[in-house]
A = this chain, B = another copy of it.
Amino acid sequence: MPDVQSLRPRRVFKLSRVGVTRVRKPIQIERSGVKVTLSAEIDVGVDLPATQKGSHLSRNIEVIESIVDQSVRTPQKSLEALCIKVASTLLERHDYATYAQILIEADYFIERSISGFGKSLEPYRIKAGVCHPRNGKPTKMIGVEVIGMTVCPCAMEEVRSILTKKHPDCKELLEKIPVPSHNQRNIAMMELTSPFSAPEVDADDLIDILEQALSAPTHGLLKRKEEGELVYKAFTNPRFVEDVAREALDLLLVRFPNLPDDVEVLVRSKAEESIHKYEAFAERVATVGELRE
């Protein structure tokens, strides 16, 4: 019986990427002795030469099964380590491919403590991936998504002006205190793409950077007093989506002074506007070298 996938196709176009997407699997990572279980969605793919009709998709799943399912029994020490293992095994199994790729995305929880209060597990999104050319150096990607809060600096000045007109004798005070403004959920994300040999950047550090870049992070549990303090803090720190993106870039360069110039950075801040029904966003795509200029 013929191996249908290996037949010569009628149309002689090569394909950039053939694979499987949205494969759901639990992944176990063990870091500093602590096991973390991620409920992940995985995409993998390879390219396909013009001379071959089909990619053997079941091989992708075999590779995922053998490495990812195994992680439930023998945890990997990082997503990065798991991704490179999958990508290089994909190249072995698809001998016609010139490159292989894997992308993993999952919910991710970090224990955060709030001043004078107990600890809580806060949810984030984490992404990791590897692109592995057969005759070249692999690159890796690490990314995070953080939900936080932004307060609009522009509307605050408008409201200050309204209040000052109504209470002209209190002008002095009104110039000193934070006044009402619209604030909203902000979905901030950052992705770093680097040569695989570059030093590992921890997802937790990127989450820290984004939380600092916002007007304020958000918390699952806030009693009345803490809620007031968090809101006060956010309103003394009003930020546009543009500010969040720029602040995050600045914090990245400060925290990682040794990051190689060829690391590519994508940062995006998206505000689910409370005064509009649509979203506002700001983004930058650049190499670390360009950012340092």
Residues of A within 8 A of B (CB): 1-2, 4-5, 9-11, 13-26, 37-39, 45, 48, 53-55, 57-58, 61-62, 64-65, 69, 72, 106-107, 109, 118-123, 147, 149, 151, 153-155, 157-159, 161-163, 166-167, 170, 173, 176-185, 216, 218-225, 227-232, 234-235, 240-243, 245-247, 249-250, 270, 272-286, 291
Contacts and interface: CB of A to CB of B under 8 A. Distances in A.
Given A39-B38, A275-B231, A277-B147, A55 B242 contact: yes
A61 B220 contact: yes
A17 B154 contact: no
B282 A18 contact: yes
A53 B170 CA distance: 29
B218 A157 contact: no
Nearest to A172: B170
B277 A107 contact: no
Contacts of A5: 154, 240
Contacts of A54: 154, 240, 242
A64 B274 CA distance: 20
Given A158-B224, A232-B159, A26 B277 contact: no
Chain A facing B: main interface SS:
mixed
Contacts of A23: 220, 278
Given A24-B277, A231-B158, A247 B11 contact: yes
Stoichiometry (number of copies): 4
Contacts of A163: 177, 232
Most buried by B among A62, A170, A276: A276
B162 A228 contact: yes
B107 A39 contact: yes
A180 B182 contact: no
- The 10 tightest CB contacts between A and B, nearest first, are A158-B228, A11-B246, A37-B37, A39-B39, A24-B123, A180-B235, A4-B154, A23-B278, A18-B282, A147-B277
Nearest to A68: B121
A222 B62 contact: no
A39 B38 CA distance: 7
Given A72-B121, A221-B58, A274-B185, A167 B159 contact: no
A4 to B, nearest CB: 4
Contact of A170 (B10, B173, B249): B173
A18 B178 contact: no
11 contacts: A17-B282, A17-B283, A21-B278, A62-B221, A65-B221, A167-B173, A170-B170, A184-B274, A185-B185, A220-B276, A227-B275
